Amino acid sequence: MRRCNFKASVSHFREAINAPPLQDGLLIIREHSVTRIHLNLDLALAFLKKHSAANEAEAFEIFQKELANCQHPDREIILFHMGEEYSKRKQWKQAVKTLQLCLSVSRKKTTAITPKANEVLAKTYLEQYCVDDALDTDQRREVLKLATSYSRKAKPSEITTGMHLTRSQLFYFNNDKHRAYQHLKKYLDARLDECKHCCYTCEQRVRTGSVPRKCESCKVALYCDSEHQKMSWKNERICHKVLCPLLGFWRKARKKKYIMSEDRCESVFRTLL
């Protein structure tokens, strides 16, 4: 499904959902068994890969239906994915409400979803801070404070590549430029290493023997196909169109083993933000 082949993904999950159950109540899906809830969740996420109002409506209808019928811990997983998808669509209030519900489900016992939910909440508040023109000065200050608070909940071992980019922006907005530069460099290092093996858009590992599509400009980003390259070019505020020159520069910098100066970092942030 991460390969974003919409028709194949939807067909696969519909077929699996409609397959007859075995005596133990599980469904066999080629290599492994999964519950019907997770199949419906995967179907909803497959719909959301293909952007259209009809697909989004059907996906969120599936989310709501499964949410009404399931118990912890599946409830936590569904709330997380719902919140993440609301955030991607700039529906800030729904995203925050859903992700906070997700955290309240896991509050008594920290789970693997907890750091992910905190990360998406931090990014949600950050994106709202950057693009929501309806916020006044006090509201912007409060949103930035909340974004910073959620970003700090992650333990060092839980900081992902995306969180390094989020933290670099937050430290910059909070006038801690030294730590902003540190996280930017960590983000770039991680991105360069990940792009050697995975599609830049769907993060699926490039199969041995395949010839992935490479960005001709930065010569860093790999893609499953041209559709994934188009998706990465303009889907987010800081998309590959923005990062492409920086990734290309960082590739050459690492190869020649020289360090990006703070002046260079400052010019990068002016471009990014």
| pLDDT score at 32 | 40
Whole-angstrom Cα distance, residue 236 to residue 75? Answer: 28
Write out the two tokens for 250. 């960082």
Rounded to an integer, what distance in angstroms lies between the CA atom of residue 126 and that of residue 146? 9
Residue-by-residue pLDDT tens, the chain, 273 positions: 444 555 566 565 566 556 655 544 444 443 343 466 666 766 667 666 766 677 778 777 878 887 887 766 678 888 898 899 899 889 999 999 999 999 988 666 667 889 999 999 999 999 999 999 999 999 999 999 999 999 999 888 889 999 999 999 999 999 998 899 889 889 999 999 988 888 888 888 876 656 678 899 999 998 888 888 887 887 778 888 888 888 988 888 888 766 666 676 667 666 666
Tell me which long-range contacts 73-79 makes (C-beta under 8 A, separation of at least 24): 73/105, 73/106, 73/111, 73/113, 74/35, 74/37, 74/38, 75/105, 76/102, 76/105, 76/106, 76/111, 76/113, 77/41, 77/113, 78/37, 78/41, 79/105
Sequence spans of domains, the chain: 1-70, 71-158, 180-273
Residues in a beta bridge with 73: none
Amino acid 112: pLDDT: 85
Residue in this structure with the two tokens 């006090």, named with its chain if needed: 138
Q: How high is the pLDDT of residue 58?
A: 76
Q: Which residues pair with 34 in a beta bridge?
A: 27
The single-letter code of the amino acid at 25 is: G
The C-alpha torsion from 168 through 173 and 178 to 183, rounded to 10°, is: 0
Q: Distances from the Cα of 210 to the Cαs of 9, 43, 220, 228, in angstroms?
A: 21, 27, 17, 16
Q: Where are the alpha helices (DSSP H) in 132-261?
A: 137-151, 161-173, 177-194, 226-234, 240-256
pLDDT at residue number 108: 60
pTM of the model: 0.81
Phi, psi of 34 (to 5 degrees): -140, 160
Q: What Rg do the C-alpha atoms of the chain give, in angstroms?
A: 20
